[in-house]
Amino acid sequence: MTQIEQDKNAPDTVMSDYNFAYLDEQTKRMIRRAILKSLAIPGYQVPFASREMPMPYGWGTGGVQVSAAVLTPDDTLKVIDQGADDTTNAVSIRRFFEKTAGVAVTEATAEASIIQTRHRIPEAELREDQVLVYQVPIPEPLRFLEPSEVETRKMHELEEYGLMHVKLYEDIAQHGAIATAYAYPVKVEGRYVMDPSPIPKFDNPKLEMAAIQLFGAGREQRIYALPPHTQVVSLDFEDYPFEASKADHPCGLCGAEDSYLDELIVDDEGGRLFMCSDTDYCAARQAVGHRGSDASPTLEGVA
Amino acid sequence: MYVAVKGGERAIDNAHAWLAEERRGDARVRELSVAQIREQMTLAVNRVMAEGSLYDPDLAALAIKQARGDLIEAVFLIRAYRTTLPRFGASRPMDTAAMACDRRVSATFKDAPGGQVLGPTFDYTHRLLDFKLAADGEVPFAPELADAEPSKDTPHIMEFLDREGLMQRDTDGRTPPRDLTREPLELPATRDLRLQALTRGDEGFVLGMAYSTQRGYARNHAFVAELRIGKVAVEMDIPELGFAVEIGEVELTECETVNQFAGSKTEPPQFTRGYGLVFGMSERKAISMALVDRALRWEELGEDNLGAPAQDAEFVLYHADNIQATGFLEHIKLPHYVDFQSELELIRKLRREATADRGAHRAAAE
């Protein structure tokens, strides 16, 4: 039984060589086909043969595969999570592409050609020559109304979205408002109801933009897309129109009134600080002299 | 302090360094070698190979070492490695009748050609902690048959029932099976895909599903017609040569269950089959797989849908994979403060409105 005594794999099983951006070219081709199809049918969820990635499902494997498939050596990559470049998973994904693709990286939204994001759309307006890649946990907007994939695919096929409208109506009947604050469903070009990924509904109006938007769901094996300037309408009712909302404060650091804010608990008494979730936006404003009420160099100003 | 959200890069590096130190444990205790894990933690290695869908005991042992014994983490390491490997081609269908059996038991016949071979099983051990093992690890003598015959083909027990026409005929899979790891899973899934999902599915999940059928959720009363474990040759057609070449051998556990079936409008009463095939010595998994396979066949056999979880192919196939499951489950510990913030605002707004409404009602009542 035990004829092999030496430990033949111990030293040299570490992979030393990756293809550009980790994925092999065959896989990239497969993903690019799915991306092209998704751009041709805006809002439609295209199945693709998602691969296991060296980070867990749920950490952005869909977005990483899409980014890997569209990345070229000349690209400049920005990665954000919760709007920030310095959150741990954004750091980890940015490093992954630095290591496997050797591309330039940036924190400046305007300098990036590809931006991978989780849960936010940058505040600065994006341009035609930019691509925004979303990490998507559950691509199916109808999933929490109907757990079966077989059923929801049929519902999209037949454009049968009554269930969603009933849900929104029941929200209003029960709470007086539509009780969805993020991953707020949208209708794309009057056809497919789409999940914009868990961005706050504050970001929904930005979904109509000049940049290409690609959505990757790794575990659920789906890719969908919004080509530039696609019509994207947040679902609502005439008498209960959609409302993009944010915390009713200016940013404590840069004073911005138009940006989405994080709320931080800053002392034992439960004191709060509101600051831009988009760290690049906030830093850029501070760099040109904007100051919020909590922006004193020491922390004493923090209420 | 709001500076707490900064410094992700350094935190990650330090966390990795600490992790490496923890993995090694007390440096005064000798380090485990990969070979030791491969030889002495064989069943763990087998599980990692089965759920990682990669037959390589050395890499599986390395993964277990690197994962600090967390087998799902080890499966993940193997899967992430496997997906980078080029695909040369497919082997010929493996002939499990030609298996060199280490173990072969049937619960349906007292004896059959090839005999009953217990093999290295826990089945009849008394589960008493062996404190001697803590002191020394000396191996007791395992007797061998003096003039053991060279192993010959062991026919499948099912064949004998088949010859009598008592077994439902499985359709001959002439089309090459599809590959779950290269195509997205789409429903309805054919049996080849279902079996692939089950063989790499989480052992605990498949076990739980199988157990539920035994307890009455789509009960199909399985007998283990045969359970065999052993090595099987892997052969590949080499186009340049024009014949098949043996490229290696793998250890497999195969389980065939024979299940009652009353017959339908088109079929006379006959037995049906559940099938399990798993890398390595993985009996629990193979039996579980066979039971779940049988439960999922209700539609093609014209049985009733009882609404049982094990009959629901979408439910079973979408939730059997522990790498997908653990990833999605654990991702909720990642930052979600943007979404939580939007919920906070919403609930504050709804409460403000509700309180205002109540105030208005009270004022009107007074």
CB of B144 within 8 Å of a chain A CB? The answer is no
Task: State yes or no: pLDDT of B366 exceeds 80.
Answer: no
Residues B80, A52: C-beta atoms closer than 8 Å: yes
pLDDT in tens, A109-146: 999 999 999 999 999 999 999 999 999 999 999 999 99
pLDDT at residue A83 tops 80: yes
Task: Name the 3-class secondary structure at A7.
Answer: coil
Coil/strand/helix, residue A162: helix
Task: Encode pLDDT of B255-277 as tens digits.
Answer: 999 998 777 777 788 899 999 99
- Rounded distance, CA B60 to CA A13, Å? 11
pLDDT score for B135: 83
Are B108 and B157 in contact by the 8 Å Cβ rule? The answer is yes
B1/A299 CB distance under 8 A: yes
Do A245 and B345 make contact, defined as CB atoms within 8 angstroms?
yes
- Average pLDDT rounded to a whole number, residues B316-342: 94
Domains of chain B by residue range: 9-82, 96-120+151-170+179-326, 336-365
Residue B130 has pLDDT above 90, yes or no: no
Phi then psi for residue B63, to 5 deg, are: -65, -40
pTM given for the model: 0.88
Q: What pLDDT shows up at residue B149?
A: 63
Whether A4 shows a pLDDT value over 70: the answer reads no
Position B72 pLDDT exceeds 70: yes
Is A293 at the interface with chain B, CB within 8 A? no
User: Over 70: is that where the pLDDT of B117 sits?
Assistant: yes
Question: Which of the residues A57, A234, A268 would you substitute to probe the B interface, choosing the one with the greatest number of B C-beta atoms within 10 Å?
Answer: A57
Task: Tell me: pLDDT of B138 over 80.
Answer: no
pLDDT of B67 strictly over 80 = yes
Q: How confident is the model at residue A10 (pLDDT cuts 50, 70, 90)?
A: very low
Size of interface A-B (CB pairs under 8 A): 165
> pLDDT tens across B300-325, in order?
888 889 999 999 999 999 999 999 99
pLDDT of residue B353: 84
Contact A182, A198 (CB under 8 A): yes
Whether the pLDDT of residue A281 is over 50: the answer is yes
Confidence of residue A303 (pLDDT cuts 50, 70, 90): very low
Q: Which tokens hold the place of B341?
A: 């913030």
Whole-number percent of chain B with pLDDT over 70 = 95
> What is the mean predicted confidence (pLDDT) over B223-247?
94
Three-state SS annotation for chain B: CHHHHCCHHHHHHHHHHHHHHHHHCCCCCCCCCHHHHHHHCHHHHHHHHHHHCCCCHHHHHHHHHHCCCCHHHHHHHHHHHHCCCCCCCCCCCCCHHHCEEEEEECCCCCCCCCCCECCCCCCCCCCCCCHHHHHCCCCCCCCCCCCCCCCCCCCCHHHHHHHCCCECCCCCCCCCCCCCCCCCCCCCCCHHHHHHHHHCCCHHHHHHHHHHHHCCCCCCCEEEEEEEEEEEEEEEEECCCCEEEEEEEEEEEEEEEEECCCCCCCCCCCEEEEEEEEECCCHHHHHHHHHHHHHHCCCCCCCCCCCCHHHCHHHHHHHCCHHHHHHHHHHHHCCCHHHHHHHHHHHHHHHHHHHHHHHHHHHHHC
Is there a contact between A92 and A109 (Cβ–Cβ < 8 Å)? no
CA–chain centroid gap for B118, Å, is 23
Query: How far out from the chain centre does Cα A86 lie?
Result: 15
The answer, for B268 touching chain A at a CB cutoff of 8 Å, is no
Structural contact between residues A206 and A121, judged by C-beta atoms closer than 8 angstroms? yes
* Per-residue pLDDT tens digits for B26-63: 999 999 999 999 999 999 999 999 999 999 999 999 99
Please give the structure tokens belonging to residue B345.
């605002």
Best mutation site among B75, B329, B338 for testing chain A: the one with the most A CBs within 10 Å? B338
Residue A86 to residue B7, Cβ atoms within 8 A: yes
Contact indicator for B207, B288 with CB cutoff of 8 Å: yes
pLDDT at A186: 98
Q: Is residue A102 annotated as part of the catalytic site, yes or no?
A: no
| Residue B89, pLDDT score | 86
Which letter, b or e, does each residue of A198-236 get, where b requires 16 or more Cβ atoms within 10 Å of its Cβ?
bbbbbbbebbebebbbbbbbbbbbbbbbbeeebebbbbb
Take residue B182 and report the two structure tokens written for it: 């290269």
If you average pLDDT over residues A104-112, what whole number do you get?
Answer: 97
| Cβ burial A163-180 (10 Å sphere, 16+ → b, else e) | ebeebbeebeeeeeebbb
Tokens describing residue A192: 């497919």
Query: Residues with Cβ < 8 Å from B278, sequence gap 6 or more?
Result: B50, B199, B252, B253, B285, B286, B289
Q: What pLDDT is attached to residue B163?
A: 86
> Could you give all domains of chain A from N- to C-terminal order, each with its CATH number?
3-142+180-234 (3.40.50.11310), 261-302 (no CATH)
Q: Is A271 a catalytic residue?
A: no
- Which ipTM did the prediction report? 0.83
Q: What's the pLDDT score for residue A202?
A: 96
pLDDT computed for residue A297 by the predictor:
55
Are residues A67 and A116 in contact, defined by beta-carbon separation less than 8 angstroms? yes
- Which residues in chain B have their CB less than 8 angstroms from residue A245's CB? 342, 345-346, 349
More confident residue, A129 or B137: A129
- pLDDT band for B160, please (50, 70, 90 cuts): confident
Would you give the distance in Å from CA A50 to the centre of its chain?
18
Q: Do B341 and A262 touch (CB under 8 A)?
A: yes
Q: How confident is the model at residue B221 (pLDDT cuts 50, 70, 90)?
A: confident
Measured CA to CA, the distance from residue B36 to residue B26 in angstroms comes to: 18
- Look at A71-80, A153-162, B134-143, B194-203 and tell me which has the smallest mean pLDDT: B134-143
Q: Where is pLDDT greater, at B65 or B144?
A: B65
- B138 shares contact with chain A (CB less than 8 Å): no
Q: Mean pLDDT throughout B119-138?
A: 87
pLDDT of residue A93: 95
Q: Specify whether A60 is catalytic.
A: no
Residue A207 reports pLDDT greater than 60:
yes
pLDDT reading at A45 higher than 60: yes
The neighbour count for residue A84, using CB atoms within 10 Å, is 25
